[in-house]
Structure 1
């Protein structure tokens, strides 16, 4: 856990859920009820240096759009709907997820990644 936090801090990456609160039995997104969105306008006001937001899965992107629609028009922020890293997303194996996320983060300048070729 501490190593993961250090890596996030090193790369200036923040984690914040699109859904601030909800009721859910089990772990499936389809079981989410009574959701309340997180206030991204307030987050962006407090941290104006945020230039990119990545959504971990369709439900995250959907919730953001529902509760923060006006923010999508901001030209200074890039929004990226990404495949979910949840084990429930069986269509995407870990190497596929790693490559997709690495590519998106590299293209945004968040990661510097060079793949060595033999």
Structure 2
């Protein structure tokens, strides 16, 4: 059932964040818990654990500390939209977050979107406004860590994210 959804919680970032990771819109489970990628079958946190060789923990507080420790900012492209559950293909009436707030205040080297829809929404709703402000941060669309993305194994996702973070200079060997 399509519902109008408001994001419900803010970004995670600080003045040392060098990579901004953006999803499209939090899942119902993530909105309920008030944090990013909290569905137990979403592979984001296991991927990050492998990429950084560090345990993100399970609580919101631990995962927030993990993100900041590894210079990651977390947010979503959308502030609100009409959506059926967590189905990105059902998104209608999207309204973007003001991503420029982070890009103007932190030394972000790259924006990474977790999935095709997040990348499309970023390019259409956010990038034009950033260009008008003179902000030209590179953006990469990576594979979704959602359980709905069965075409990528956990090992595939770890390799994709590791390569992208290394290429962007936010992860050193």
Give CA-to-partner distance per residue, 1:3-47, whole Å, 9 cap, x none: 3222211111011101111121222111222211112223322x2
CA distance in 2, matches of 1:19, 1:107: 26
- Matched residue count: 112
Q: Confirm whether residue 57 of structure 1 aligns to residue 115 of structure 2.
A: yes
Query: Structure 1: which 5+ residue stretches go unaligned?
Result: 114-118
Q: Confirm whether residue 35 of structure 1 aligns to residue 94 of structure 2.
A: yes
CA distance in 2, matches of 1:76, 1:67: 14
Give CA-to-partner distance per residue, 1:38-84, whole Å, 9 cap, x none: 12223322x24222100100111111111123336968522111011
The structure carrying a bigger helix percent of its residues is: 1
- Superposition CA RMSD, Å: 2.0
Superposed structure 1 runs of 4+ greater than 4 Å apart? 72-76
Give the secondary structure class of the aligned counterpart of 2:139: strand
**Structure 1 residue 102: deviation in Å?**
0.8
CA distance in 1, matches of 2:112, 2:146: 15
Partner residue in 1 for 2:138: 78
Q: Looking at both structures, which has the greater relative contact order when contacts are Cα pairs under 8 Å and sequence separation is at least 6?
A: 2
Give the secondary structure class of the aligned counterpart of 1:15: strand
Is the CA contact 2:88–2:117 (under 8 Å) kept in the aligned structure 1?
Answer: yes
Partner residue in 1 for 2:162: 102
Give the secondary structure class of the aligned counterpart of 1:68: helix
